[in-house]
């Protein structure tokens, strides 16, 4: 059965879901000029974290085994426990020290391009997405929900009250300091249900994915150590009754043929697109209106005008440009006023 995504007039209530892998954070760092510590991928993590010597001492050849394969073997066999602890400690220390520059990054644009109904799910340990969320939420309250599928170096948890926040802060209920969220490392059998926080994050993603009208996968390669994750994603997407009307967007620099092979099970006919630049993605060309604009074009045959983000030098300029879109959303929330479907001029006084 095909179900039209939830709508209220020309306002689409169904979510846009973004799925982020390591490639997204690497692209973000490249976008701001590559300053600061290098951001590793799983392919060069051993080298970037200066762990080559320890890996060689344990009898492994870093040129023949990557971080994912190495960690999976150590965890599966129970051997080299000291090396495993060293790997985990170094990961937490290195990623915790990373921070965004003061200027706008891809993550700032991404967060401000989506609404409260939407969701960004990340596999990344780095704090970039959380940092972008915090600094934009101070000005723009209507931002998407953020979930951390493998934990995060800056996310804290109160297990007693099931409250999450930023490490170093206290639980808003019991007042005790939040403890670090569990980091999931690259083993084939991760057991996403074993940790309450991780289980909850996946539950949120699966719920939104089963209702999503637009799915964007940014820099995530679905590696072999994420077999369980890929299946969970596919099961939730398959349960989506509007899937045959929905769109998948891949943002990646990998070869198109390889991407199509990886994600073929998710595609319905030709309802997908592949972009190499995040700034060419649909949500950045229709900020905060991606699902609405897509529905107008495909369901009503009345395409909306493109409204791409300009490139800004300061966060204040970016946030001011978004403000008129927020005002339109407020008008809808208060009186059910439909969206204009046209680019909205920013308020120059902000």
pLDDT per residue as tens digits for the range 2-33: 788 999 999 999 999 999 998 999 888 888 88
pLDDT(332) > 60: yes
pLDDT(177) > 60: yes
pLDDT(350) > 50: no
pLDDT(348) > 60: no
Across the chain, what does the average pLDDT equal?
91
pLDDT(349) > 60: no
Please state whether beta strands 163-166 and 179-180 pair in parallel, antiparallel, or not at all (unpaired).
Answer: unpaired
CB 272 within 8 A of CB 263: yes
CB neighbours (10 Å) of residue 173?
A: 11
Q: What is the pLDDT of residue 275?
A: 97
Confidence of residue 183 (pLDDT cuts 50, 70, 90): confident
Q: What is the pLDDT of residue 346?
A: 65
Residue ranges of domains in the chain: 7-34+103-149+184-335, 45-96
CB neighbours (10 Å) of residue 92?
A: 14
Please state whether beta strands 155-158 and 163-166 pair in parallel, antiparallel, or not at all (unpaired).
Answer: antiparallel
For domain 7-34+103-149+184-335, give the fold.
Rossmann fold (3.40.50)
pLDDT(41) > 80: no
pLDDT(276) > 90: yes
pLDDT tens digits, one per residue of 130-162: 999 999 999 998 999 999 999 999 999 988 888
What tokens were used for 127? 């704090």
């Amino acid at each position: 059965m095909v179900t039209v995504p939830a709508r209220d007039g020309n306002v689409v209530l169904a979510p846009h879901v973004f799925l982020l892998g390591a490639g997204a954070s690497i692209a973000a760092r490249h976008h701001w000029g590559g300053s600061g510590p290098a951001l590793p991928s799983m392919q060069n993590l051993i080298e970037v974290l200066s762990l080559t010597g320890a890996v060689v001492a344990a009898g492994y050849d870093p040129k023949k085994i990557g971080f994912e394969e190495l960690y999976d073997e150590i965890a599966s066999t129970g051997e080299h426990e000291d090396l495993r602890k060293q790997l985990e400690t170094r990961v937490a220390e290195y990623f915790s020290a990373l921070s965004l520059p003061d200027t706008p990054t891809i993550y700032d644009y991404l967060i401000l391009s989506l609404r409260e109904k939407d969701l960004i799910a990340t596999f990344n340990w780095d704090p970039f997405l959380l940092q972008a969320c915090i600094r934009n939420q101070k000005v723009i309250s209507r931002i998407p929900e953020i979930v951390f599928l493998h934990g995060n170096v800056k996310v804290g948890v109160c297990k007693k009250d099931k409250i999450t926040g930023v490490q170093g802060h206290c639980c808003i209920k019991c007042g005790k300091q939040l403890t670090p969220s569990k980091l999931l490392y690259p083993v084939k059998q991760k057991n996403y249900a074993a940790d309450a926080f991780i289980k909850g994050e996946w539950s949120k993603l699966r719920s939104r994915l089963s209702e999503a009208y637009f799915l964007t996968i940014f820099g995530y390669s679905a590696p072999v150590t994420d077999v369980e994750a890929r299946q969970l994603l596919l099961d939730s997407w398959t349960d989506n009754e509007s899937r045959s009307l929905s769109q998948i967007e891949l943002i990646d620099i990998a070869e198109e043929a390889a991407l199509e092979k990886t994600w073929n099970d998710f595609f319905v006919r030709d309802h997908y697109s592949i972009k190499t630049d995040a700034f060419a993605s649909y949500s950045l060309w229709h900020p905060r209106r991606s699902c609405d604009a897509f529905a107008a074009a495909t369901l009503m045959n009345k395409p909306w005008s493109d409204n791409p983000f300009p490139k800004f030098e300061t966060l204040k300029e970016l946030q001011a440009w978004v403000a008129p879109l927020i005002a339109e959303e407020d008008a809808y929330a208060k009186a059910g006023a439909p969206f204009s479907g046209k680019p909205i001029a920013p308020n120059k006084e902000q």
